[in-house]
Amino acid sequence: MKMKRAMLAWGIIALALVPVFTLVMAKEAPPASQFDVIAAAADDYLNDPDTVLNTSSEDLLLKMLAGEPYIVSFQSAEDYATGHVPGAINMSASSLFKPESLAKLPKDEQITVYCYTGHNGSQITALLNLCGYDATNLTWAIMGWTKDIAVATKQFSNPTTDLPTETTINEATVTYDLPAVNNTSSTDVSEIIRAACDNYVSNGFKNIKAADLYALITDEDPSNDPIILSVRKAEDYAKGHIPGAINIGFQSIAKIENLQKLNPDKQIVAYCYTGRSGGQATAILNALGYDAVNLLWGISGWTTDPDIAPKRFSPDTSADYPLETGAGEEVPAAPSGDGGSCG
Per-residue pLDDT tens for 138-160? 999 999 999 999 999 987 766 66
* Residue 20: predicted pLDDT: 45
Q: Looking at the predicted structure, is the pLDDT value of residue 8 above 70?
A: no
The dihedral of CA 76, 82, 88, 89: what is its sign?
A: positive
Instruction: Reply yes or no on whether the pLDDT at 18 is more than 50.
Output: no
Is the CB of residue 83 less than 8 Å from the CB of residue 150?
A: yes
Q: Report how far residue 300's alpha carbon sits from residue 199's, in angstroms, rounded to the nearest whole number.
A: 30
**CA-CA-CA-CA torsion for 278, 54, 112, 287, nearest 10 degrees?**
-30
**How many angstroms separate the CA atoms of 76 and 159, rounded?**
27
Q: What is the pLDDT of residue 315?
A: 86
Question: 211 falls in which pLDDT band (50, 70, 90)?
Answer: very high
Q: What whole-number distance in Å separates Cα of residue 112 and Cα of residue 135? A: 6
Cα(305)–Cα(288) distance, integer angstroms = 34
- Is residue 14 pLDDT above 50, yes or no? no
* 319 Cβ neighbours under 8 A, 6+ residues apart: 57, 58, 61, 144, 145, 146
Write out the H or E segment, with its range, that includes residue 55: strand 54-55
Q: Give the whole-angstrom CA distance, residue 283 versus residue 274.
A: 16
pLDDT digits (tens, 9 = 90+) for 99-141: 999 999 999 999 999 999 999 999 999 999 999 999 999 999 9
Collapsing DSSP to helix, strand or coil, 18 comes out as: helix
pTM of structure: 0.90
Q: What is the pLDDT of residue 316?
A: 86
Contacts of 182 (CB under 8 A, 6+ apart): 34
Beta bridge partners of 293: 269
Asked if 294 contacts 203 with a C-beta cutoff of 8 angstroms, the reply is: no
Q: Which of 209, 230, 240, 213 is nearest to 304 (CA)?
A: 240
Q: Mind listing the domains of the chain with CATH numbers?
A: 34-144 (3.40.250.10), 189-301 (3.40.250.10)
What span, in angstroms and rounded, lies between the C-alpha atoms of 93 and 76?
Answer: 9
Question: pLDDT band at residue 334, thresholds of 50, 70 and 90?
Answer: confident
| Tally of CB atoms within 10 A around 323 | 17
Per-residue model confidence (pLDDT) at position 341: 67
Output the pLDDT for position 158: 63
- Write phi, then psi, for 283 (nearest 5 degrees): -65, -45
What is the chain's mean pLDDT, rounded? 90
